[in-house]
Amino acid sequence: MSDPASKSHGRKSITASLKPRSLMDGPERLARAWSAQVITLLPDAFPGILGHSLTGKALKDGLWQLDTIDLRHFGEGKHRNVDDTPAGGGAGMVLRADVMGRALDHALPRAPEGAPLVYLSPRGTPFTQAMARDWATRPGVTMICGRFEGLDQRVIDHYDIQEVSLGDFVLTGGDLAAQAMIDASVRLLPGVLGNESSTEEESFSDGLLEHPQYTRPAEWQGRKIPDVLMSGHHGEIAKWRRAMSEDLTKARRPDLWNAHSKRND
Ligand SMILES: C[S@@+](CC[C@H](N)C(=O)[O-])C[C@H]1O[C@@H](n2cnc3c(N)ncnc32)[C@H](O)[C@@H]1O
């Protein structure tokens, strides 16, 4: 049976004709693959950047899977309307509760047990590396991309949806935020990055920003790589990197520095 509302990206979607297969074609979930489901008005915007580089290779290799659910499919009437004017007046349009409810009733039975249900929203809890780490340990995530003025509050309350923000700015829609958060989570899945230790040393892993990085040439525009990095002395290099990490964090992110200091008191 075909499922016109959903489109699968990744290994299970690759057939001889390279046409996506639907979610309803059978017990499709790849064994142990991390699964992202995204409800969106712009399913063609996926996998987007996630289809490239390491996340794209991991998608093709079946380390994770992506299913987009087209909100329009659940719209009202001949024109499949998904939005209406805000109750109480004001500018813009709001995504309807009944339409999103139908999309969620379609998506939730397909989500793996334990996958967080998230609405991308500037009002939400700010997304962090810790959240990405948590999501990467779950079987996947189900995301709702908003548009217009956002989503009817009753859906958020009814399904107890977690609101998560990409940062203190307003995007046109949740799709870019979803892709950013999926990227941050997928790269932490085992086997996605070639060198596992690279996630241990990067920014935020120890609550600190990362030290500066350099590579060849040894001198460029009269600027040299710091001598210590060329010394081959691993102990001194580690000390220098740690000191730079601490200095940068203190200068740029006093909030992170204070939290780090408290944890290490
Ligand atoms: C134009 S915004 C709506 C903004 C909303 N009226 C407000 O003032 O909070 C449309 C959609 O984009 C998404 N969005 C916008 N900014 C975001 C952010 N910083 N983080 C996550 N999602 C965001 C949300 O899904 C939102 O429903």
Domains of the chain as residue ranges with CATH: 6-186 (3.40.1280.10), 202-263 (1.10.1270.20)
pTM for this predicted structure: 0.92
What is the distance between the alpha carbons of residues 204 and 243, in angstroms, rounded to a whole number? 15
With beta carbons less than 8 A apart as the criterion, state whether 69 and 111 touch.
no
Helices 129-137 and 175-186 cross at an angle (nearest 10°) of 70
The answer to whether 46 is annotated as binding is no
Which of 29, 42, 263 shows the shortest CA–CA distance to 171?
Answer: 42
Atom of ligand 1 nearest to the CA of 150: 27
What is the distance between the alpha carbons of residues 170 and 96, in angstroms, rounded to a whole number? 20
Q: What is the mean pLDDT of the chain?
A: 92
The answer to whether 167 is annotated as binding is yes
CA of 120 to the centre of ligand 1 (A): 7
Better-predicted residue by pLDDT, 19 or 38: 38
CA of 265 to the centre of ligand 1 (A): 38
Q: pLDDT exceeding 90 applies to what percent of the chain?
A: 83
Which of 45, 37, 105 shows the shortest CA–CA distance to 74?
Answer: 105
Between the alpha carbon of residue 87 and those of residues 95, 96, 152, the distances in Å are: 12, 11, 10
SS3 state of residue 210 = coil
pLDDT at 205: 82
Evaluate if residue 23 carries a pLDDT over 60.
no
